[in-house]
Amino acid sequence: MKITIHRGADQIGGCITEICSESGNKIFIDLGHNLPSESDEPDKYDNPTTLSTLLEGVSAVVYTHNHGDHAGFFAHIPEDIPQYMGAMGREVMQNSLEEQLNTAQRAGRTQRAEEVEGAIARLNKFRTYATARTFHIGDIAITPYFVSHSAADAHMLLVECDRKRVLHTGDFRDHGFTGKGLTPTLARIGQVDALIIEGTTLSRDGSASKSEYQIQQEMLELMGRYKNIFVVCSSTNFDRLAGLYQDTLKIGRPFVCDQYQKHQLNTLSKYTGKFTSLYNIQNAWTISLNNNALHKRMFEQGFTMVVRNNANFRKWIGFIKEHIDLAETICIYSQYLGYLEEQPSLREFVDSFGCKVEYIHTSGHASPEAIEEVCRTLNPRSAIIPIHKDATSDFHTLNLPDELKAKIIAADTAQLGIPI
């Protein structure tokens, strides 16, 4: 078996890992876009020639989860290469693309609408996998294991061939609502020959990560002090949305979102609501300018409203602000702080609320302590291959025994390919 990190060994995002068996069967794990924050240059694979050269001889692409820095090129992959993802993660992507299609059609952007239609058609051909169910691509066996992350339906992938076992962690954490499942999952996987593992927090959000329970408590405390709560957060960060929803229910106010967010929450409830009431979100209200029953409740009782930076929300927020006291109102900024620097229009959107703004957020990525736990528990026989980390972060700074530190593979070696 040979592992090649085509991209991601010395940058966060843009992940592309190749695993090739002795017989020459080659699969990719993730094929992601560069994050805008990581590079100012256009992505070199945003080009049919470089992408098809990269994909030569690849028999499948298996995604750990649906974030763009892992699955960003899916629409451009030739149809004869099968692509795999968890069923819920695939549906979340479909909801998002349908929203993009509606937006493009409403704006009369025909070319953009056609592009999105093409992406939806490609997504419809995805094959889906389920946690702990092994599937085969030629002589390579893959077993996905569900793991907590800020994306819906993220998985670690155990890849086995040539009597070798490799775990690719994708993006993960142990401080989400389902994070306590990490330790038993690692015990189930057992020892591996090589571990490909993310290291985002060695440079980014490196402070001790708060748990989603702590975040939920902080939100609840603010709901006790403020009547009206606007929350800027991702529509697919389901731990955050579920925590907010349950807090809002507890305090007896309406939880308000738009059609698209409601659609995403319906997908969450459909796939996971039967396992836990936390993710069963049945009573979210949909905002509009003529829903008088909702307006009456909002202005009397207060509300929690999840907002996004777009023209519709600006219109709705403008209307709501005419009916509420801004001294009783707070805007919670609940996503990566760096976006405020990278996106001036987002900064302007947050400023436009005219009320107090508070930052409450925790990372979607593994803390250094969680990374150490995974390395120690899986105790790889030959290699620890760091990915999804910036060029200056060094796994040798982690608190690991010397015999494990000796197995850490440098980025330039990983890019050339490592025989396992």
Residues that bind Zn ion (CB under 5 A): 67, 69, 151, 171
Closer to Zn ion at the Cβ: 69 or 174? 69
Counting DSSP H helices and E strands in the chain, the numbers are 15, 19
Closer to Zn ion at the Cβ: 63 or 279? 63
Closer to Zn ion at the Cβ: 223 or 366? 366
Closer to Zn ion at the Cβ: 73 or 255? 73
Nearest to 414 by CA among 212, 194, 262, 210: 194
Q: Is 212 left (phi over 0), alpha (psi -120 to 50) or beta?
A: alpha
Smallest distance from Zn ion to CB 219, Å: 22
Smallest distance from Zn ion to CB 337, Å: 17
Cα–Cα distance, 387 to 169 (Å, whole number)? 10
Closer to Zn ion at the Cβ: 171 or 212? 171
Nearest to 196 by CA among 221, 228, 164: 164
Assigned token pair, 190:
């057992």
Q: Phi and psi of 70, rounded to 5°?
A: -125, -30
Smallest distance from Zn ion to CB 65, Å: 6
Smallest distance from Zn ion to CB 78, Å: 24
Give bridge partners of residue 342 from the DSSP assignment: none
Smallest distance from Zn ion to CB 112, Å: 25
Smallest distance from Zn ion to CB 393, Å: 14
DSSP secondary structure letters along 327-354: GGEEEEE-S-THHHHH-HHHHHHHHTT-
CB 203 within 8 A of CB 390: yes
Closer to Zn ion at the Cβ: 116 or 151? 151
- The helix/strand/coil state of 357 is strand
Closer to Zn ion at the Cβ: 21 or 169? 169
What's the Cα-to-Cα distance from 324 to each of 251, 309, 311, 317, 320, rounded to whole Å?
A: 18, 20, 20, 11, 7
Smallest distance from Zn ion to CB 4, Å: 19
